Structure formats: C-alpha cells, structure tokens
Amino acid sequence: MKTFSIAIHGGAGTLVKGMMTPELEAQYKSALQSALNEGYKLLDDGKSAVEAVEEAVKLLENSHLFNAGKGSVFTATETHEMDASIMDGKTLNAGGVSLITGIKNPVSLARDVMEKSEHVFLAGDGAMQFAKELDYKLEDASYFYDEFRHKQWLDIKDTDGFQLDHATKKDSKFGTVGAVACDQDGNIAAATSTGGMTNKKWGRVGDSPMIGAGNYANNKTCAISCTGSGEFFIRGVVAYDVACLMEHKGMSVKDASSEVIHKRILEIGGDGGLIAVDTNGNIAMPFNTEGMYRGQKSSDGVDDVSIYG
C-alpha cells in the first residue's frame, strides 16, 4: 500500500520556552495531537486528502489556543474577521474566503466555495451571503471571545500598530492553522485558516486565503500550508514558489521547502514556516523562527507533535 500521511501546523514564531508553562505546553500538544489523529483516521479509513485536511483544520479552529475560528484575534474595531482556503491537488479545484464573521469553521465555507460555487474566492458581505444561502449558523461574538486575545488587542488598540498573534515582541508569532495530506490514492490537499493580525484594519487580508501564497496543492508537485508574515508570503508567492522549484528544478519537497523558507523568503524580509507533503507522503516542515506548532503522522509509523526548533 502507498504511504499516506498528514501534517498540521498551529503557527510559527518566537515561541520562547521560558514563557510557556508546562500546563500550556501540554494543552497545545494535546490539541495538535487530536487534530492530527482525527485527520489521520480519515486517511486510514480510505477517505480523501480533502476530507482529512478539512477535518484537521476544523478541530484546530475549534480550539481557543490557535488564531483561527474560535481563537481568532481581534480587529481594530473589536470584531473578528477570518480568512481560510482549501485546495484539492488532484483537480486543482480551490476555494477561499476572507473577511468573514461569525462562522465557526471558515475552512468548511472555503470548501463549499470550492464545491458548491463556480468561483474560487469570496470575500466579505458576498461570502457571508453565500454562507447564509447554505444555512450556515452564525455564532455570536461571545463564542470568539478570549481574554488573552482581548488583552493583546487592548494593548495596541489606540495605536496604528497591528500585530501577529501573541507576539512577545512585535511581529514575532503567528497563530494561523493549516493541514496538508496525502491519501491512499496518492492525492494531496492543503487547507489554511486564520484570524489574521491583532488590530488589523481597512479589510486587511493576509496570505492564508490566497491560493498560491499561503495555500496550494497540485498532484504534480506538493500540497502546502504556510504561516508567517502574510504580506511577505504574498509578495513571495511562497506556496506556489515551493511547487515551482519542484516542478521546474526537480527538487524534492524537503529541499524546495527549505530553499524557500531558509533563503528566498528571508531575502525579501519575511519570516515564518510551512508544512508540505508530496504524492509519496513525504513531509517537510521548515520554519525560520524559533518554533512552530506542528505535527505529522504517516502510515510508515511517524507520529509526533512538536513546538520548538
């Protein structure tokens, strides 16, 4: 049987060991392990890579620990605006949503855009109208309230600044979530979901919902989900860049991912990481920050979650 595998991330950044209590570290690891296990279980049952990445990302969105879904950061107007995307490497079908509010699982709305609309990317009021037509239930603001995230916002709300999730210094930690998977048929998929940046304004959209920037999948090469300084990941077209290095230079998923994260994105001033998988189930999880919440599980027996470098 072909190797099948899944990898997930919950954001990268300055994850200083000393600032993390053992209890919190255990909570992060347990949330990562549950998402990994559920996604893997679907693959083991013969389900598609698309099913597996949606399920894993949904579970991460349901945790208050990560900056996506329930744990999304606050915008400049004390609201939550979420972005998500998903791509199927077999068909190159893709769906993205941005600036959505009140939706418990933005990744599922992205999947509905992919499968139930003729479009790839819906934003703001239009995306909300689409959700309404599909009878999505809207959560009220209290569902997304988290004391820690509210404090992050209070600290910078009267400034022009914006901040990546739980930064210990400005721009130092990203809490976006994502999953990539290779199923038993060798099809791959990627999904990414985020609340964006604390105190963001003017309808700011990052790389996460943008196909090719923060998320990409193509059976010819690999499936990728990114986390990091979104503006740079957009300019570097990071996810597609990894796929291009594989397609045009014949690089492995590990070498291509490493080249982009340790060289090309650094050269233009970006930081963060990504997870990637190829159609043989090989996984790469490079990051150029001190840590990245991450996990991987494969039919070859790999099963681990980790945080630091």
Q: Which is nearer to ligand ASP, 257 or 279 (CB)?
A: 257
Q: Does the protein bind ligand ASP through residue 174 (CB under 6 A)?
A: yes
Q: Does the protein bind ligand ASP through residue 176 (CB under 6 A)?
A: yes
Which residue among 14, 75, 101, 176 is the active-site one? 176
**Shortest Å, Cβ 105 to ligand ASP:** 18
**Cβ-closest position to ligand ASP:** 230
Site for ligand ASP in 81-110 (CB under 6 A): none
Q: Which of 11, 95, 291, 295 binds ligand ASP (CB under 6 A)?
A: 11
**Shortest Å, Cβ 57 to ligand ASP:** 13
What tokens appear for 120 in the block? 């790839």
Span of 28-36, 57-65, 148-156, 170-178 interacting with ligand ASP by CB under 6 A: 170-178
101: annotated active-site residue? no
Q: Which is nearer to ligand ASP, 199 or 219 (CB)?
A: 199
Q: Does the protein bind ligand ASP through residue 175 (CB under 6 A)?
A: yes
Q: Which is nearer to ligand ASP, 46 or 269 (CB)?
A: 269
Q: Does the protein bind ligand ASP through residue 227 (CB under 6 A)?
A: yes
Q: Which of 206, 212, 286, 295 binds ligand ASP (CB under 6 A)?
A: 206
How far is residue 43's CA from residue 47's CA, in Å, rounded to a whole number?
A: 5
**Shortest Å, Cβ 200 to ligand ASP:** 8
Residue 204 to residues 31, 93, 114, 174, 177, Cα–Cα distance (Å): 28, 25, 22, 16, 18
Residue positions annotated with a catalytic role: 176
Summarize as ranges the residues that interact with ligand ASP (CB under 6 A): 11, 67, 164-165, 174-176, 194, 196-197, 206-208, 214, 227-228, 230, 233
